[in-house]
Structure 1
Amino acid sequence: MFLMTHPGAVRSPQVVRFLKHLRRHLSGRVIVLWDGLHAHRSRETRAYLDANRSWLTVQRLPAYAPELNPVEALWAWCKGTFAANFCAESLDPVRDQLRCGRRRLARRPERIQGFLHKAGLFI
């Protein structure tokens, strides 16, 4: 699972930076599941996607269908476990909590598969 935090709204430069991050850390083909965030559909993002079709495939999720987005199950798990009753005044403690949660998930890959399964996706 790859995760990148960013203060403020996510825009095209952050999306492209994340995709480049994926490329540095993953070999072979990659499939990215995306919702309808405007930055996912911008001219800059589309140009990067077009230039990297050899290794990168994007599957867009239907609008207004959070039950089909495995990230929704991930966030629900986060809010119900390690981030329950967590309130931070800045982004740094949130990043620390997310790192902790990511380590917990790395030890339980079947949980990640469960998030995909709940969304009707299988690997």
Structure 2
Amino acid sequence: IHLAEISLGVSKGAHAVLVLDGAGWHTSPKLQLPANISLLPLPRYAPDLNPVENLWEFLRANFLSHRVWESYDAIVDACCSAWNALMRRPEQVTSITTRAWAQVKL
């Protein structure tokens, strides 16, 4: 279902490449891969290749570290608040996740 939703967001005539970490569900034989999506698994133990790792590091350092929460719900609220704050700063996301080696050279 998730891949189908991503597929709907891919521009007509374009092709999306999704970078995968080593999570078990990324390699399930039950996955139904849309024709306009390819999967690119990262090598094991290569967090430097996964830009999302840098987003988690930023969130921990700027919103979630050195705090104590009263309950599970408070933790979930803090995480949602941190994520929403980051999503309101797309230039920050771009800055954190851009890789010079992944740029298209024209």
TM-score (normalised: structure 2): 0.70
2:35 corresponds to 1:53: yes
**SS at structure 2 position matched to 1:59:** strand
Mapped to 1, the partners of 2:82 and 2:61 lie a distance apart of: 11
Q: State the percentage of identical aligned residues.
A: 27
State the aligned residue count.
100
Runs of 4+ in 1 over 6 A off after TM superposition: none
The alpha-carbon deviation at position 80 of structure 1 amounts to 0.5
Question: After superposition, where does 1:28-107 map in structure 2 within 5 Å?
Answer: 28=11, 29-45=15-31, 48-49=32-33, 52-54=34-36, 56-88=37-69, 89-90=71-72, 92-107=73-88
Offset, 1:82: 1.1
Q: Highest CA radius of gyration, 1 or 2? A: 2
- Structure 2: 5+ residue stretches without partners: none
Say if 1:95 and 1:21 are closer, same or farther in 2 by CA, change over 3 A: farther
The alignment yields a C-alpha RMSD, in angstroms, of 2.7
Residues 121 and 114 of structure 1: CA distance in aligned 2, closer, same or farther (over 3 Å): farther
Distance 1:61 1:69, change over 3 A: same
**Amino acid of the residue matched to residue 99 of structure 1?**
C
Distance 1:113 1:44, change over 3 A: same
